Structure 1
Amino acid sequence: MRFNVAVSFLALLVTLFSTVCYLPVAQRDLEINRIDVGSGAPDLIEIDCPMINDLQPTTQPVCIEKLYAAAMTSPKMWAGSHDQHLFAFSYKTDRPYFNTLEWLLPQSKGHYNLIAQKGDIWELSVTKKEKNEVVRLCIDPCDARNMSYRENSNDGWNIDTAFTVAAFSDARYRLLSADVNVRQWVDGDRGERSKQFDLNRNAVETCESAASQCVDKLYVLSVISGKQPDGLNRVKGLKLRVSDGTSNMTIALPKRYGDLNDKGIRAEMWEVESKSLSPESQCTKFNNVKEIAFTTTAKYRYYKVQSVFVVARLNSGKFSLLAAFVDPISSKAVDRFNELQFNLYNDC
């Protein structure tokens, strides 16, 4: 009798052990900590790291040092918010759980960034507090797991388009997520789905995969102000110059709709169709772009540019970062005598 009981108990232990051991590592992490990942679960258990193809050969480890969360508010009724919401970034550690960093948005420009048809690009330093000291983190790109906007009030915010860009220790920028025309609410009282908006990492194409693809559209996001002598703050008369080394195409960027407070600098976003990039509307390949810049011929306007990210939508339907310029402290002027060239990230 005792022998049969012992055998049964041993068989039960073997069954339980085999069940636990063969769970995927990331799934075991989730089970241990009961992490609520919302719709971002597929991203959290993903173990592939295609971004590694974009990293340049180096003797030093390449890591994520900053994040740039770029988001545009939709034109829906009551889309804007006068309250602050959160941006969160989860990453894998050598312990059996994920760490999550959170930032309150907007951080410094007041409570009026989240207005209809306007947006912002938030520069987020990857740091944490340890013993009352701020410690800068160096996160391996393959350890990045999930990025999301999270509600922080009942004054909802409706996001139209959002991109997340990472600044790496090798002085390059890479796209981490892309969500276009999603019209997603981030709100505390609209149900569970609106409490956390998990961003789409699967929509991002590596530079290597993007290289030979045609560019279907460009999304140009910039924190910028346009000034006239009378102080009006209007982005009008700005142009985008795109060159493949043999021909130049200059596209006028129209003034966007929506409120623009003279005392605040907003992010603007322009969509540039592929037919505008080639003189004969032919395929413009991602890696054939040699120069891209802001320019203007307006006599009495100049523009102060803090940051720009140019994201290409490819014929695969996915997205890749084409160019960037970041100078949030001093900014750069664009007038009829000075254009502003961006750094290209299609040299893969």
Structure 2
Amino acid sequence: MELTGAKYQRNLTTWVEFILLGFSDIPELQRFLFWIFLIMYMIILLGNSLIIIVTKVDSCLQTPMYFFLRNFSTLEICYVSVTVPRLLADLCRQNRNISFLACATQMFFFLVLGATECFILTAMSYDRYVAICNPLLYPLIMNTRLCMQLAIGCWLSAVPLELGFTYLIFSQHFCGPNQLDHFFCDVPPVLKLACGNTFMIEMLLYVVAFIVATVPFMLILGSYVKIISTILKLPSATGRAKAFSTCSSHLMVVGLFFGSAILTYMRPKSSHSVGVDRLVSLFYTIVTPMFNPMIYCLRNKDVMVALKKFFTKLIVLPFTSIILKS
């Protein structure tokens, strides 16, 4: 009975920090993974920064479409910066402890920025819907005031929802092992460590995921059904090709992000496995944000032209002025 009581007391111990295991199960790849993730992180920062600068300074890109793209690129930088710097630091050290407060803060910002990304992608699809389905009314509908309201709404609307959800998760009692088998504080791995019945939290997770991911995804699909049907009715083949090229990059980003996010948060708890969860999480936290600037730049002629003009001014003009002075 004494042994049982001691074991019972140990099980009731409340932890004040987690240990992020990350990729500690493959120690021989730590250095390799560090350089891979660092390169990917730098590509994300550089690519999105270039999009922000170019869409801001180029007079030809002062349209609602590029206003939302600039917001999206800013969001991508914030989104990856919530998880990747911590991941890089953990790959270089043995102590991977993270306090409850730091873990809750990371989860909150990750959830808020993920929801914001869903909303901004929805706003971008609405912009394309108005531009293609109501081109004559486009300047009136997508005016500066509406664009600002949509952007502010996208950035702020998820804050109270995710704040309350994060509070509910970390108000649970954690009395089991404190080893978090993940590389950041995501919802499914944290819930695995909670004691007691987490059924209501899991059901709430589905509700939140439905509100911030499934509903925007269905709105995007609905808008693109209308967009594609309108494009197919265009008499000019050139016009159809131009309209499709404008929308295809956005559709690719939507498919990559929503597909991986829904796969993570809408799956039943019983189907979760450590390897699959980490792989899917890597995909939507690092891989997809790395490809997004490439998709928007390489598939958008206007952005490519603006980039060429930007680099010409940045490199050629200073070089020319040096020659003239000499």
The TM tier, using the shorter chain, reads under 0.3
Task: Give me the TM-score of the superposition, normalised by structure 1.
Answer: 0.23
Task: Give me the TM-score of the superposition, normalised by structure 2.
Answer: 0.24
